Amino acid sequence: MSLLSYLIPRTLLHTSSRYNQDIRVMEEWGVRRLLVNGSRQSGPTIQELWEKAIDAFGLPQFPDQPSILVLGVGGGTVMRILSERTVKPYITAVDIDATIISIAKKYFGFDSFPFIQFIVDDAKKYISAPPAHSYDLIVIDLFIGRIIPEFVTLPSFYQSLKRCLKPQGVVIVNYLRELDYLKKSNTLNITLKTIFHDVRDFSISNNRFFFAALDK
User: What pTM value is reported for the model?
Assistant: 0.94
Cβ(100)–Cβ(119) below 8 Å: no
**Res 112: pLDDT:** 86
Closest CA relative to residue 42, chosen from 69, 72, 74: 74
Judged on CB neighbours under 10 Å (0-12, 13-18, 19+), 172 is buried
As a residue count, the chain comes to: 216
Question: In the 8-state DSSP scheme, what is residue 169?
Answer: E
Q: How far apart are CA 62 and CA 166, in angstroms?
A: 11
- Kindly tell me the number of DSSP H helices and DSSP E strands found in the chain: 6, 11
Q: How far apart are CA 96 and CA 17, in angstroms?
A: 11
User: What is the homologous superfamily of the domain 45-213 according to CATH?
Assistant: Vaccinia Virus protein VP39 (3.40.50.150)
**Res 2: pLDDT:** 56
**Res 192: pLDDT:** 98
Question: In the 8-state DSSP scheme, what is residue 176?
Answer: E
* Per-residue exposure over 41-64, b if at least 16 CB sit within 10 Å of its own CB, e if not: bbbeebbebbeebbeebebbebee
Q: Could you report the average pLDDT of every consecutive run of 10 residues in the chain (216 residues)? A: 63 96 93 95 95 96 92 97 94 98 96 92 93 92 95 97 94 96 97 97 97 88
Question: In the 8-state DSSP scheme, what is residue 161?
Answer: H
